Amino acid sequence: MKKILAVTILILMAAAGKIFAQNTKEIAAGPKILVLNYHQVQNSHHSLAVPIADFEEQMNYLYTHGYVTITPDELYSGLNGELELPKKPVLITFDDGYADNYTNAFPILRDYGMRATIFVIPAFVGKYDNYLTWEEMREMEAGGITIESHTMHHYKLEELPDDDIRSELLTSKQMIEENLGHPVEFLAYPTGTYNLHIAGIAKEVGYKGAYTIKYGNVDLGSNFYALERVPIFHTGTTMKDFYERIEYRQSFEEFGWIKK
């Protein structure tokens, strides 16, 4: 019985090794794009607020380790084979459009010559003091920041009827375009919630891609309307968690330990 069990284990290990090798080849193929997801950059004790010093240290890490910042449109073109991406591409994104993205994050990004993308909520602009103004967004775009859509009011899209989903996606897109004077073609789902039906509506109203909070790197196997990101939070060990999230995740995917 022990001999039979041992042989069975060896057969299963061999089969697992074959599957592992197949997954490794599949996952390692093509570009691997790190997409970071931030919210606030400020010194408050909130999970969404990364301390200013930590954010600067994170940008320094990316800079000194050879990462090159890209835009959503460059990511899209790179995956489509229309653009050769840098060796270590990174897309830095912020959700919601908080004022500290301008006062705290933007100067640091500018110092390192880095670009970023902010998904904003147009209904909050001019209504709440802790959100960006259109004037600030124009200045940031002149300095390498891309402004895209986070829907009109930040409602959970899965809880809305189709007409309201369409309105949330379209009016946000149109308002940003009217105020900033450029096409808005990318979206970040509020709270990361979405489904294929919502993705279909996003495509229908003119978005080329949409970002979730699904953890992982973007690659050739990604869905353009369900793009992965690596969320960065304020924790008790923010910097340690940052290193682990961006390095361990890429190692897992490289060696086939995680398959989306």
What Rg do the C-alpha atoms of the chain give, in angstroms? Answer: 20
The pTM of this model reads 0.85
Mean pLDDT of 220-235: 95
Q: Which tens digits make up the pLDDT trace of 103-158?
A: 999 999 999 999 999 999 999 999 999 999 999 999 999 999 999 999 999 999 99
Beta strands in 83-237 (DSSP E): 89-96, 116-120, 145-149, 186-188, 209-215, 227-231
Query: Residue 245 — very low, low, confident or very high, per pLDDT cuts 50/70/90?
Result: confident
Query: Residue 16 — very low, low, confident or very high, per pLDDT cuts 50/70/90?
Result: very low
Residue 31 has pLDDT above 50, yes or no: yes
Dihedral sign for Cα 5, 259, 19, 28, please. Answer: negative
Closest CA to 115 of 216, 212, 227, 35: 35
User: What's the CA dihedral at 201, 185, 76, 202 to 10 degrees?
Assistant: -10
Neighbours of 251 (CB within 10 A): 10
Mean pLDDT of 189-213: 95
Q: How many residues does the chain have?
A: 260
Neighbours of 204 (CB within 10 A): 11
Write down the pLDDT at residue 143: 97
Residue 1 has pLDDT above 70, yes or no: no
